[in-house]
Structure 1
């Protein structure tokens, strides 16, 4: 069997983690040939046997002539150095969001070879079938305000999530919404006010963040993002993540909640769309196969960098208690 018949050759860095293992299984399911799993953790051995992959301890052992794509699923403080090295060695890379935990880390990525051509940033929210509907509606309406509630189910906040350098919940989870909403509007938003707390779990990082921002067009964006020990009745990623986006415009209102979409017109008309639950990792793997073939990724490095800059400004405002904090341009 030829390489083409087996599918693109994929390696996953950080394969022992939750996201890494999801990526590995998703690529295998869509027909890719997962050849290498990179992780020092012994837990990866069972997955390697399941997928018929070789286990290696370091991304430095990978060879660009033997792979079509490397997936990097590591903490955001570690990813920039690993991804930059892979890009500089000629690999095509899919990295977990965000591109870095802060602007300093993102600068490492920005300096890498081929970052605008050979890097796909894994914002899985773009793979949801509701996104084209929502994005088109936003484009065609005069939006006044966007309100987001993003809740990720976690029994505990520990390991790398509890590292203050990772940025807390706004950078780890809320950035999904920050990236999507910022893709709809031009310019750098100003952080008007931010509040953060860590009293639910008692970890060293912000566990609950509420932030209000304003885009140059006047659109107000309010984000509530938190980790929750309670499982929500419905959610994305197999129920682990509940997302609601409420958009107010002059001629209507749109409410997107997980897999349901409601639209109200100014004249009282109402439209409802229900989407079948979908595996966003699986849909992203399919998109990544197109990226391997030369297609443009759903989220470019420039847009991912913009989201990191905005999240960094939110984190700064939360830490200082300051108001009117400009997001970096």
Structure 2
């Protein structure tokens, strides 16, 4: 079987540290071309893969190279545009989160995937930890009963990813920690809950640390002191689903809190509860008239969940797995995020079911 030919669009930190090692470790693929508007970065990454096919224009790469799939790690605002262009040329797409910066963009991606018959997969890496996989099986066994309430949280004391780069520029990113961090935890929480449909959202967003010099997160390419910061640094909200379940959310790049709260999902069911935090899992249930905390033990595994997600994408392409997510999942996710921002701006709840009917 010949190897799948992969093209790369965007070679920033997320590609360098999380995506590239996954592609390099697979025997089923070869990265044959690399594109980045900053040519030296593209050349550096191309050398890792032993290719000299380097572009500063991704459209030129799509037109000139015979690619089976591409990996998109460009700024958020470009995700939909690049994905649609590739899908229309019969190329499978793997894309870093978020799917798009608005629901219309996510819908264009889903429509293009349906028309082309090609696979569109967006990074849902938090579904791939051993703990999340175990919890999903536990829930599907019925051991938690009906999950009626959830909480998704990712709070940083100081973790603004550089001021003035595309992360803090709304026109490029679509938003701050909600679209950067929240997209991860909301996704894995909804997936664990059985993927109910969101029907209503309310939210609030704050920008209080734009002038802080204590950012702590490694600055991204293009970040400049005194640059643009027109996104939120904290977002909070409440989501209602069609099955009556609800979810509280809170995400920040900067907060005056005692300690970071990283990658937390809490689920409350009628028979048991669960707390998934990073790679720690705790279950709470009643046994013989007592409330018991159960802490499952897992073998040590430092494999990045991003690697697992990309390998899953490859397995789907070679017919060894069925996709764990669909483009429609992404449409629902971006509709939620957009509604939270809308509610934060208007102060009113946003109904998603009425928008669908309209």
| Distance in 1 (alpha carbons) for counterparts of 2:333 and 2:263 | 18
User: Hey, what does 2:245 align to over in structure 1?
Assistant: 219
Q: Do the aligned partners of 1:87 and 1:115 also contact (CA within 8 Å) in 2?
A: yes
Structure 1 residues 115 and 229, CA gap change in structure 2 (3 angstroms)? farther
User: Hey, what does 1:287 align to over in structure 2?
Assistant: 312
Q: Do the aligned partners of 2:152 and 2:189 also contact (CA within 8 Å) in 1?
A: no
| Distance in 2 (alpha carbons) for counterparts of 1:47 and 1:112 | 29
1:213 to partner: Cα distance = 1.5
| Distance in 1 (alpha carbons) for counterparts of 2:260 and 2:206 | 25
Post-superposition CA distance 1:171-223 (Å, at most 9, x none): 222011222333324222311x3221111234311111111112122212001
| Distance in 1 (alpha carbons) for counterparts of 2:54 and 2:327 | 29
Matched, 1:189 2:199: yes
Structure 1 residues 83 and 234, CA gap change in structure 2 (3 angstroms)? same
Post-superposition CA distance 1:83-134 (Å, at most 9, x none): 1011001101111122211112223323425466421111211222222222
| Distance in 2 (alpha carbons) for counterparts of 1:110 and 1:27 | 24
> TM-score, length-normalised on structure 1?
0.86
User: Hey, what does 1:149 align to over in structure 2?
Assistant: 153
1:228 to partner: Cα distance = 4.0
1:71 to partner: Cα distance = 0.6
| Distance in 2 (alpha carbons) for counterparts of 1:297 and 1:111 | 17
Match among 276, 282, 287 for residue 262 of structure 1: 282
User: Hey, what does 1:199 align to over in structure 2?
Assistant: 208
Post-superposition CA distance 1:22-42 (Å, at most 9, x none): 312320122331111111212
Gaps of 5+ in 1: 236-241
- Number of positions where the alignment pairs a residue of Structure 1 with one of Structure 2: 315
Gaps of 5+ in 2: 212-228
> TM-score, length-normalised on structure 2?
0.80
User: Hey, what does 2:47 align to over in structure 1?
Assistant: 49
User: Hey, what does 2:167 align to over in structure 1?
Assistant: 161
User: Hey, what does 2:336 align to over in structure 1?
Assistant: 310
1:274 to partner: Cα distance = 4.1
- Name whichever of 293-302 and 95-104 sits farther off: 293-302
SS at the partner of 1:266? strand
| Distance in 1 (alpha carbons) for counterparts of 2:62 and 2:246 | 47
| Distance in 1 (alpha carbons) for counterparts of 2:243 and 2:34 | 45
Structure 1 residues 115 and 219, CA gap change in structure 2 (3 angstroms)? farther
| Distance in 2 (alpha carbons) for counterparts of 1:148 and 1:179 | 9
1:233 to partner: Cα distance = 8.4
Q: Do the aligned partners of 2:204 and 2:340 also contact (CA within 8 Å) in 1?
A: no
Matched, 1:27 2:23: yes
| Distance in 1 (alpha carbons) for counterparts of 2:255 and 2:351 | 33
1:260 to partner: Cα distance = 1.0
Q: Do the aligned partners of 1:147 and 1:245 also contact (CA within 8 Å) in 2?
A: yes
Q: How does 1:56-205 map to 2 (within 5 A)?
A: 56-62=55-61, 66-112=66-112, 114=115, 117-139=118-140, 140=142, 141-151=145-155, 153-165=159-171, 166-183=174-191, 184-191=194-201, 193-202=202-211, 203-205=229-231
| Distance in 1 (alpha carbons) for counterparts of 2:163 and 2:234 | 12
Q: Do the aligned partners of 1:38 and 1:58 also contact (CA within 8 Å) in 2?
A: yes
Structure 1 residues 226 and 115, CA gap change in structure 2 (3 angstroms)? farther
Matched, 1:271 2:266: no
Q: Do the aligned partners of 1:155 and 1:228 also contact (CA within 8 Å) in 2?
A: no
| Distance in 2 (alpha carbons) for counterparts of 1:201 and 1:46 | 33
